[in-house]
């Protein structure tokens, strides 16, 4: 990544404008419905968090670069070109108060995909050098060390040994020709190694070959979150190289929302080519096993009243919506849905890299109120999800709001209910 | 220029000028958009997105999910009433159908004038409430700029002058009718250069959003 300058930021914004973005700016009639879909507005009542307002810098560049009228306005002195200070100011709207959850894109009556544009504005603000320090640090660690949290292979190796000791199962490492390459997020390696244990148990149960790569075990992609495409591409390419070297059929994205977005949806576009392997979220893989009758459960159902929190990038922006529900029905008797769920679920408040932004902590705690209310309305005894970041954010939120509710990852829950073979 | 001459002028040269600006303006705006192109999709998609794109173009005419409706019910209800009223009175009022037949060469049955009258009143009322909402609802007060108020005015005037002309209120009928036609012509001239262009661009907006989501397997 070359040195950040306003010129580079401006250029990045300019290059990212396509036909859809032009149609979105043309079509917006300032109806305000996107505000009501955004938890940063609904929980603060501050209009400055209205999603379309967050896109003002991009609108300016589009108008002044790609429309005759916009150019004329600048020429006549009726409009001012974008300034570096504006990009610096907009950092709060584009990073701190947007989790890229995409709920706004679901409600816009003219059909604007607002989050698609927010993602593009991040490219501009990052290139101009105004990205949040927390995300810059995470991205630097990801590039230099291999993981946004600074984890190296020995850390995972230690966890692997623990898991092997605890379960008596072997975790395959660098196995060429395995069917699945299993990725993990740093958050899982540090906080939820039970995910790895669950995967090992499930793979043994279904009799599938799998492996972890010493060269590419980290699934998360800080380049996507901060909005620097060349870094995002470098991080994706590590996985692609490992997957192709090991000749796996499928790469399994872990219980992490944005990792799935990064490798499944943005990855091939960043690489500029089709992948030679498939990319699936762990829940997709498990649901396929279920569909094939390979998951033999012990018949002991979860009896607690529980609900499922859809991670935005897995459900709304990723298309994995039915699979977790199918799996829950397999193991739980008392599964209930939140009023807004699936593609309309509310974000935990910490996605899109917001959890890595220190100065956004207070705001994100405030907007967690939405998730808290959703859960309290439902009076559940347990929460299931499929994203380690959501899980941490929700746990922190519970602490801040002095609420107690056990949270479990769905993969782990499924593994717990399989018959021992 | 007397009333009749004025009416002839708005019906003749002014109408041709407005039509030309509308067509040229829309052409320019669409070319500006089309030249931007679209990035290529390399991810293995769950559907090609065509059906999903079409579905979203249509489905966003329907009321949204209950959770969304509850939070934005006013703008949705008033928005429907205004848009429906505008289009019904535009396309299904007998004198308009006669005019459109001259331009387009096709015609269709209209609604009785008293029905159009009621629909116009409802539409005007909805527009006024939308304007008040724009002043009082903090999000809209914050977002609204000159163009929003200009667009509102340009959409309001044809309905309002049409209503006055129909009822022979205020000004002599030929003058009111001329002003009504002129208000439509101003709308036609300004449309391509303001957010009123959403009348056409919403199709691309909904299409691209819907198609991209459908490729991921989500119906938006």
Within 8 A of A340 by CB-CB distance, chain B residues are: 65, 67
The answer to whether position B109 is within a domain reads yes
Q: Is 60 exceeded by the pLDDT of residue B67?
A: yes
- pLDDT for the residue numbered B123: 97
A331 is written with which tokens?
């193991």
- pLDDT for the residue numbered B2: 86
Sequence ranges of the domains in chain A: 6-131, 147-291, 306-416
Average pLDDT for B86-110: 93
Among B76, B138, B201, select the one facing A26 at the smallest CB separation. B201
The answer to whether position B143 is within a domain reads yes
B35 to chain A: closest CA residue: A19
Q: What is the pLDDT of residues B174-211, one digit of tens each?
A: 999 999 999 999 999 999 999 999 999 999 999 999 99
Q: What is the pLDDT of residues B125-142, one digit of tens each?
A: 999 999 999 999 999 999
A22 interfaces chain B, CB cutoff of 8 Å:
yes
Q: Quick one: which H or E segment has residue A182?
A: strand A180-182
Most B CBs within 10 Å, among A51, A69, A104, A111, to test the B interface: A111
- pLDDT for the residue numbered B178: 95
CB distance B119 to B153 below 8 Å: no
A370 is written with which tokens?
């939405």
Query: Which pLDDT tens digits describe chain A residue by residue (421 residues)?
Result: 568 999 999 999 999 999 999 999 999 999 999 999 999 999 999 999 999 999 999 999 999 999 999 999 999 999 999 999 999 999 999 999 999 999 999 999 999 999 999 999 999 999 999 999 999 999 999 988 888 888 889 999 999 999 999 999 999 999 999 999 999 998 899 889 999 999 999 999 999 999 999 999 999 999 999 999 999 999 999 999 999 999 999 999 999 999 999 999 999 999 999 999 999 999 999 999 999 999 999 889 999 999 999 999 999 999 999 999 999 999 999 999 999 999 999 999 999 999 999 999 999 999 999 999 999 999 999 999 999 999 999 999 999 999 999 999 999 999 999 998 6
Mean pLDDT of chain B: 95
Q: State the nearest Cα–Cα gap between B102 and chain A, in angstroms.
A: 30
Q: Is 90 exceeded by the pLDDT of residue B1?
A: no
Secondary structure tally for chain A: helices H, strands E: 23, 7
3-state class of B17 per DSSP?
helix
The answer to whether position B132 is within a domain reads yes
- Transcribe B164-219 into DSSP letters: HHHTT-SS-HHHHHHHHHHHHHHHHHHGGGSGGGHHHHHHHHHHHHHHHHHHTT--
A391 is written with which tokens?
């899980």
The answer to whether position B29 is within a domain reads no
3-state class of B47 per DSSP?
coil
Give A407's contacts (C-beta < 8 A, 6+ positions apart). A382, A383, A384, A385, A391, A394, A395
CB contact under 8 A, B208 and A53: no
| pLDDT level of residue B58 (50, 70, 90 thresholds) | very high
Within 8 A of A316 by CB-CB distance, chain B residues are: 218
Q: Please state, in angstroms and rounded to a whole number, the distance separating the CA atoms of residues B204 and A110.
A: 9
- pLDDT for the residue numbered A73: 95
- Angle of helix A19-27 relative to helix A114-127, nearest 10 degrees? 110
Number of CB pairs, chain A paired with chain B, less than 8 A apart: 181
Q: Please state, in angstroms and rounded to a whole number, the distance separating the CA atoms of residues B98 and B108.
A: 9
The answer to whether position B163 is within a domain reads yes
Taking the alpha carbons at both ends of chain B, their separation in whole angstroms is 55
What CATH number does domain A6-131 carry, 1.10.260, 1.10.1060, 2.40.128, 1.10.490?
Answer: 1.10.1060
Q: Please state, in angstroms and rounded to a whole number, the distance separating the CA atoms of residues A220 and A226.
A: 12
Nearest to A251 by CA among A277, A286, A287: A277
Q: What is the ipTM of this complex?
A: 0.96
Instruction: Tell how strand A306-309 and strand A250-253 pair up.
Output: unpaired
- pLDDT > 70: what percent of chain B? 100
CB contact under 8 A, B42 and A269: yes
A330 interfaces chain B, CB cutoff of 8 Å:
no
The answer to whether position B172 is within a domain reads yes
Task: Name the class of domain A147-291.
Answer: mainly alpha
Within 8 A of A27 by CB-CB distance, chain B residues are: 195, 197-198, 201-202, 204-205
Most A CBs within 10 Å, among B29, B30, B36, B37, to test the A interface: B36
CB contact under 8 A, B206 and A111: yes
Give A398's contacts (C-beta < 8 A, 6+ positions apart). A372, A404, A405
Phi/psi at A308 (5° precision): -120, 130
Give A375's contacts (C-beta < 8 A, 6+ positions apart). A307, A338, A383, A403, A405
CB contact under 8 A, A275 and B44: yes
Among B28, B64, B148, select the one facing A107 at the smallest CB separation. B64
- pLDDT for the residue numbered B202: 98
A35 interfaces chain B, CB cutoff of 8 Å:
yes
- pLDDT for the residue numbered A1: 52
Among A24, A266, A275, select the one facing B205 at the smallest CB separation. A24
Q: State the nearest Cα–Cα gap between A304 and chain B, in angstroms.
A: 26
Q: State the nearest Cα–Cα gap between B25 and chain A, in angstroms.
A: 11
Question: Which fold is adopted by the domain A306-416?
Answer: Rossmann fold (3.40.50)
- C-alpha distances out from residue B130 to A147, B134, B141, Å: 51, 6, 12
- Transcribe A138-164 into DSSP letters: HHHHHHHTSSTT---HHHHHHHHHHHH
- pLDDT for the residue numbered A2: 66
Range of the domain at B132: 47-215
Average pLDDT for B69-82: 95
Q: Please state, in angstroms and rounded to a whole number, the distance separating the CA atoms of residues A225 and A126.
A: 10
Within 8 A of A264 by CB-CB distance, chain B residues are: 43
- pLDDT for the residue numbered A146: 85
B25 interfaces chain A, CB cutoff of 8 Å:
no
- pLDDT for the residue numbered A385: 97
Q: Quick one: which H or E segment has residue A409?
A: strand A407-409
| pLDDT level of residue B152 (50, 70, 90 thresholds) | very high
Average pLDDT for B42-66: 94
CB contact under 8 A, A339 and B67: yes
A374 is written with which tokens?
């959703």
């Amino acid at each position: 990544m070359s040195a950040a300058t306003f010129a580079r930021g401006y250029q990045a914004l300019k290059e990212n404008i396509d036909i859809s973005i032009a149609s979105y700016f043309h079509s917006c009639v300032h109806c305000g419905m996107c505000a009501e879909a955004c938890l940063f507005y609904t929980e603060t009542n501050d209009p400055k968090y209205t999603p379309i307002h967050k896109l003002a810098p991009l609108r300016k560049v589009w108008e002044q670069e790609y429309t005759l009228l916009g150019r004329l306005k600048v020429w006549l002195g009726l409009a001012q070109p974008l300034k570096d200070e504006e990009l610096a100011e907009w950092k709060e709207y584009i990073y701190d108060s947007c989790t890229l959850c995409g709920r706004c894109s679901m409600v816009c009556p003219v059909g604007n995909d607002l989050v698609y544009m927010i993602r593009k504005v991040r490219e501009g603000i990052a290139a101009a050098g105004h990205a949040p320090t927390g995300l810059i640090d995470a991205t630097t660690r990801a590039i230099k060390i291999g993981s946004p949290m600074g984890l190296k292979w020995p850390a995972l190796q230690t966890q692997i040994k623990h898991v092997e000791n605890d379960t008596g199962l072997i975790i395959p490492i660098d196995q060429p020709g395995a069917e699945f390459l299993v990725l993990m997020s740093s958050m899982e390696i540090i906080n939820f190694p039970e995910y790895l244990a669950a995967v090992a148990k499930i793979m043994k149960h279904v009799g599938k070959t799998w492996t972890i790569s010493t060269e590419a075990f980290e699934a998360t992609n800080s380049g996507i979150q901060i909005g620097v495409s060349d870094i995002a591409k470098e991080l994706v390419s590590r996985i692609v190289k490992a997957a192709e070297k090991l000749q796996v059929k499928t790469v399994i994205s872990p219980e992490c929302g944005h990792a799935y977005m990064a490798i499944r949806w943005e990855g091939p576009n960043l690489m500029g080519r089709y992948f030679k392997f498939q990319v699936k979220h762990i829940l997709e893989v498990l649901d396929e096993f279920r569909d094939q009758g390979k998951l033999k459960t012990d018949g002991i159902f979860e009896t607690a009243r529980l609900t499922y929190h859809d991670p935005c990038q897995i459900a709304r922006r990723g298309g994995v919506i039915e699979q977790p529900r199918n799996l829950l029905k397999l193991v739980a008797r008392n599964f209930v849905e939140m009023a807004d769920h699936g593609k309309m679920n509310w974000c935990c408040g910490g996605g899109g890299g917001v959890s890595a932004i220190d100065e956004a902590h207070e705001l994100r705690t405030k907007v967690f109120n939405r998730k808290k209310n959703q859960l309290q309305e439902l009076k559940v005894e347990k929460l299931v999800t499929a994203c380690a970041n959501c899980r941490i954010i929700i746990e922190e939120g519970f602490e801040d709001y002095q609420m107690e509710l056990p949270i479990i990852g769905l993969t782990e829950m499924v593994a717990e209910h399989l018959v021992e073979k | 220029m007397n009333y009749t001459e004025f009416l002839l002028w708005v019906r003749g040269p002014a109408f041709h000028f407005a039509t030309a600006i509308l067509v040229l303006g829309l052409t320019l705006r669409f070319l500006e958009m089309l030249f931007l192109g679209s990035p290529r999709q390399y991810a293995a998609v769950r559907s090609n997105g065509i059906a999903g794109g079409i579905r979203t173009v249509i489905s966003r005419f329907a009321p949204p999910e209950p959770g969304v409706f509850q939070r934005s019910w006013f703008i949705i209800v008033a928005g429907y009433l205004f848009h429906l009223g505008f289009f019904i009175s535009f396309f299904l009022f007998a004198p308009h159908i006669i005019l459109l037949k001259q331009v387009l060469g096709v015609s269709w049955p209209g609604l009785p004038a008293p029905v159009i009258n009621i629909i116009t009143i409802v539409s005007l009322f909805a527009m006024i409430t939308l304007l008040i909402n724009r002043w009082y609802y903090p999000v809209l007060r914050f977002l609204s700029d000159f163009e929003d108020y200009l667009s509102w005015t340009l959409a309001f005037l044809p309905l309002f002058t049409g209503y006055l002309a129909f009822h022979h209120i205020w000004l002599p009928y030929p003058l009111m009718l001329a002003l009504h036609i002129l208000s439509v012509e101003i709308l036609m001239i300004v449309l391509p250069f303001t957010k009123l262009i959403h009348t056409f661009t919403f199709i691309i907006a909904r299409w691209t959003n819907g198609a991209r989501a459908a490729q991921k397997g989500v119906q938006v």
